[in-house]
């Protein structure tokens, strides 16, 4: 009987870590206290010797494992195609850097790696033998505004199928299944001087799938201010939502999904997410026989308490999956 594993990315505690309130060890301890069975490290965020893993950092990771019982399970890689000042990295250069990521993930003991879509389908395919060599499965993150069957993701699916390798696949981020506007962005926009009726207009246009240019024009004609335009950009961008999320697409790509990002921005006291329909998403994973990690990924930094929200998120997933803590 397959059992879904529930972890948390230390990225949840970005604000606490950046301000010095939490050390790396505090982040690991807090994830363990929330119920995480393993954790993700965003390499560019928390590895002091990035892109390499120093023995010193590995020692810290192992000490934390001994103290708190959890270890890194997934490595959040960044594929920085634009890191040179004058040109994009070539596909071959991107591949070479991704191999370093695999080696660093391996040194940390991670068997899962999140890659980003700037690593092309062809480069992902070429990465497969390296992924196998180090026993690190590499998945392209499907992040809002992409969705499982968006045109770009279809290209990856074709490459994954062509490779015949179990070591390359997807990392769906549940944020792409949002059905309502992002609560933190909505409330922060109001606090920054947005008018509720303008946010409602943006929400309605997004709900009605009004094309971006036309919607933008209407916002500007109505005299939208900066806060309103920021919220509007979010609704048409990284926190877009749809009344018909691509859940059928999730079923289609689930066999190729190496783990998932359980994105959340705000959970109410009843442990339910404000805009992402977990009660529809999680049964699809369970029924589909998914048995890898879902990593809780909080992204309401500075809006809600990360520690409390991550606890609630872990509780929600256990409730919906009928799993004991």
Q: Which residues bind another protein (CB under 8 A)?
A: 11, 14-15, 17-20, 42, 44-46, 48, 50-51, 78-88, 116, 118, 216, 229-230, 233, 237, 301-302
Decide: 116 and 77 in contact? Cβ < 8 Å.
Answer: yes
Nearer to another protein, 79 or 257 (CB): 79
Whole-angstrom Cα distance, residue 203 to residue 243?
11
Q: What is the nearest approach in angstroms of another protein to the Cβ of residue 311?
A: 21
Q: What is the nearest approach in angstroms of another protein to the Cβ of residue 46?
A: 8
- Rounded to 5 degrees, φ, ψ at 268 are -70, 175
Query: Could you tell me how far CA 103 lies from the centroid of its own chain?
Result: 21
Whole-angstrom Cα distance, residue 28 to residue 104?
19
Q: What is the nearest approach in angstroms of another protein to the Cβ of residue 214?
A: 13
SS3 41: strand
Nearer to another protein, 81 or 265 (CB): 81
| DSSP per-residue string spanning 208-256 | TT--HHHHHHHHHHTT--HHHHHHHHHHTTTT---SS--HHHHHHHGGG
Whole-angstrom Cα distance, residue 96 to residue 159?
18
Q: What is the nearest approach in angstroms of another protein to the Cβ of residue 236?
A: 9
Nearer to another protein, 233 or 242 (CB): 233
Cβ burial 133-166 (10 Å sphere, 16+ → b, else e): ebebbbbbbbbbebbbebeebebbbebbeebebe
Nearer to another protein, 216 or 296 (CB): 216
Q: What is the nearest approach in angstroms of another protein to the Cβ of residue 5?
A: 25
Q: What is the nearest approach in angstroms of another protein to the Cβ of residue 117?
A: 9
Nearer to another protein, 116 or 150 (CB): 116
Nearer to another protein, 230 or 284 (CB): 230
Whole-angstrom Cα distance, residue 133 to residue 120?
20
């Amino acid at each position: 009987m397959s059992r879904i594993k529930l972890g948390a990315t230390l990225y949840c505690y970005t604000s606490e870590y950046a301000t010095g309130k939490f050390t790396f060890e505090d982040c690991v301890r807090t994830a363990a206290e929330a119920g995480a069975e393993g954790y993700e490290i965003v390499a560019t965020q928390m590895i002091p010797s990035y892109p390499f893993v120093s023995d010193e950092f590995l020692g810290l990771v192992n000490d934390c494992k001994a103290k708190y019982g959890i270890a890194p399970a997934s490595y959040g890689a960044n594929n920085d195609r634009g890191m040179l000042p004058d040109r994009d990295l070539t596909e071959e250069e991107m591949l070479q850097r991704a191999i370093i990521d695999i080696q660093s993930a391996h040194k940390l003991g991670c068997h899962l790696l999140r890659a980003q879509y700037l690593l092309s389908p062809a480069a992902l395919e070429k990465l497969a033998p390296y992924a196998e060599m180090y026993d690190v499965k590499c998945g392209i993150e499907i992040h809002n505004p992409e969705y499982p069957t968006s045109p770009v993701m279809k290209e990856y699916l074709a490459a994954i199928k062509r490779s015949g390798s179990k070591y390359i696949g997807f990392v769906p981020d549940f944020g792409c299944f949002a059905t309502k506007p992002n609560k933190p962005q909505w409330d922060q926009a109001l606090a920054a001087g947005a008018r509720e009726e303008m946010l409602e207009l943006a929400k309605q246009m997004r709900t009605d799938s009004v094309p971006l240019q036309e919607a933008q024009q209407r916002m500007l004609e109505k005299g939208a201010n900066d806060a309103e335009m920021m919220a509007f950009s979010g609704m048409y961008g990284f926190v877009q939502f749809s009344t018909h999320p691509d859940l059928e697409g999730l079923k289609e790509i689930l066999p190729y999904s190496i783990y998932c990002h359980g994105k959340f921005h705000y959970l109410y006291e009843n442990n339910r997410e404000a805009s992402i329909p977990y009660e529809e998403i999680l049964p699809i994973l369970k029924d589909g026989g998914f048995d890898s990690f879902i990593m809780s990924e909080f992204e309401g930094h500075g809006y809600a308490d990360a520690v409390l929200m991550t606890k609630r998120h872990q509780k929600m997933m256990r409730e919906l999956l009928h799993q004991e803590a």
